[in-house]
Amino acid sequence: MQLKTTQQTSIFRVLDTLNRPVTPQELLGAASIESPGLGLATVYRVLKKLVEADRVQKIELAGVPPHYEVQSDKHHHFFVCEDCQRILEITGCPGGFKKFLPEGFTMTSHEVILYGICRDCSPLTGKEN
Ligand SMILES: [Zn+2]
Ligand SMILES: [Zn+2]
Share of the chain above pLDDT 90, in %: 78
Instruction: Provide the pLDDT for residue 3.
Output: 63
CATH number of the 6-70 domain: 1.10.10.10
Q: Summarize pLDDT for 49-72 with one digit per residue, the tens.
A: 999 999 999 999 988 999 999 998
Domains in the chain: boundaries:
6-70, 77-121
The closest ligand to the CA of 76 turns out to be: 2
The DSSP secondary-structure symbol of 93 reads -
Class of the CATH domain delimited by 77-121: alpha beta
**What is the b/e burial string over 82-114, where b = at least 16 CB atoms within 10 angstroms of the residue's CB?**
eeeebbbbeeeeeeeeeeeeeeeeeeeeeeeee
Distance 116 CA to ligand 2 centre (A): 18
> Are 55 and 109 in contact, with CB atoms under 8 Å apart?
no
- 95 alpha carbon – ligand 2 mean position (Å): 6
CA distance 85 to 28: 17
